[in-house]
Amino acid sequence: MAVFTEKVLTGRPHFASWHGLLGGLVLLHAIFQTILGCCLHQTRTHRPVHQQQARGGSLYTPQTPNIFVLSKAWIPSLRLAHVTSGGLFFLLSSATMCLGLISSWFTRSLAVALGLSPPEPGSSFALFDTTLLVVLGLAGLAIVLPSLIVVKQVTDSHLHGLQTLWRSSQRRKTSDFAAAKGASIRAGMTSPLALHSNNRESSGMAKEKGLKQKTPTNATDGIRRRGKQTHRMEVNGEGAVASGDKNGIRRRRRGRQRGALESQKQQQQTSKKKKKGSNNKKK
């Protein structure tokens, strides 16, 4: 803009050098980038209803008349084109700044601003003496700021990916721990039933083979031993047992003992009845 104003004041022709042509191209490209960025920002903040539904959002988002939505353009491809165009703009602006730093106008203006040479007669270099350092600072920021923006975008996208991976791993760990804990609890709840069924099967096999049945004291001792084994298995499976869990184990153990004693009494009564019936038949 300083060169353009200088040429307007001095009446020189515009775009007569490579620096002028490249500067005009950079300005047009900056305008195009601004328009494209505003449109993409509108698609990001006002998504249509079907995209909100796919992302799990509200279904009452109004349909916005967007040029990209009406043309059925793919938004990620447009964003990629916008980023690529931004890289091209960065290269063009850097080349323009380098050409401007070695131009004759810049060297004369710098000499006048530093007091090394007097201004030319009929020129307006004195108008830019105070703003020359500001122009230099803006020229330096033209390279620094876009590079910082690109670095920020890359780091944000990379850190977002790492954060999603960390969250998924944490969810997987918690789900695995919950599944293992549930399996151990289910195994602890079903083990007394399995032991009771095994006791019934063993007693039935003993009847068929004609073996002697155990006394109630031996039966209760065996049940207590099995209860201790199940208690150890539950402790090893869950890592630690609270006081409420211990009370529950003791109650289940007492219930198994009572059930075993009642089943033995019923078996003894049935065996006595059978013996009486056989004796009556013999008489």
pLDDT tens profile 167-179: 666 666 666 666 6
60-64, 151-155, 193-197, range with greatest mean pLDDT: 151-155
> Residue 70: its pLDDT value, please?
45
- What is the percent of the chain with per-residue pLDDT over 90, rounded to a whole number? 0
Question: Does residue 203 come out as left (phi exceeding 0), alpha (psi in the -120 to 50 range) or beta?
Answer: alpha
Give domain status of residue 195, yes or no.
yes
11 and 105 both lie in a single domain: yes
pTM of the model: 0.32
DSSP structural state of residue 220? H
Determine the Cα–Cα distance for residues 216 and 254; give it in Å rounded to an integer: 14
Given a contact cutoff of 8 angstroms between Cβ atoms, the answer to whether 169 and 113 are in contact is no
6 and 145 both lie in a single domain: yes
137 and 194 both lie in a single domain: no
Q: Is the pLDDT of residue 265 over 80?
A: yes
Given a contact cutoff of 8 angstroms between Cβ atoms, the answer to whether 89 and 26 are in contact is yes
138 and 207 both lie in a single domain: no
Give domain status of residue 183, yes or no.
no
**What's the average model confidence in pLDDT over 93-100?**
75
Residue span of the structural domain in which 49 resides: 2-149
Structural domain ending residue among the three candidates 130, 149, 168: 149
Q: Is the pLDDT of residue 28 over 80?
A: yes
> Residue 60: its pLDDT value, please?
42
Which tops the pLDDT comparison, 42 or 13? 13
Structural domain ending residue among the three candidates 125, 149, 173: 149
Determine the Cα–Cα distance for residues 203 and 212; give it in Å rounded to an integer: 10
76 and 14 both lie in a single domain: yes
Q: Is the pLDDT of residue 255 over 50?
A: yes
pLDDT-based confidence at residue 219 (cuts at 50, 70, 90) = very low
* Count of structural domains, the chain: 2
110 and 245 both lie in a single domain: no
User: Helix crossing, 216-238 with 132-209: angle to 10°?
Assistant: 170
Give domain status of residue 49, yes or no.
yes
> Residue 45: its pLDDT value, please?
44
Q: Is the pLDDT of residue 80 over 80?
A: no
- Specify the length of the chain in residues: 283
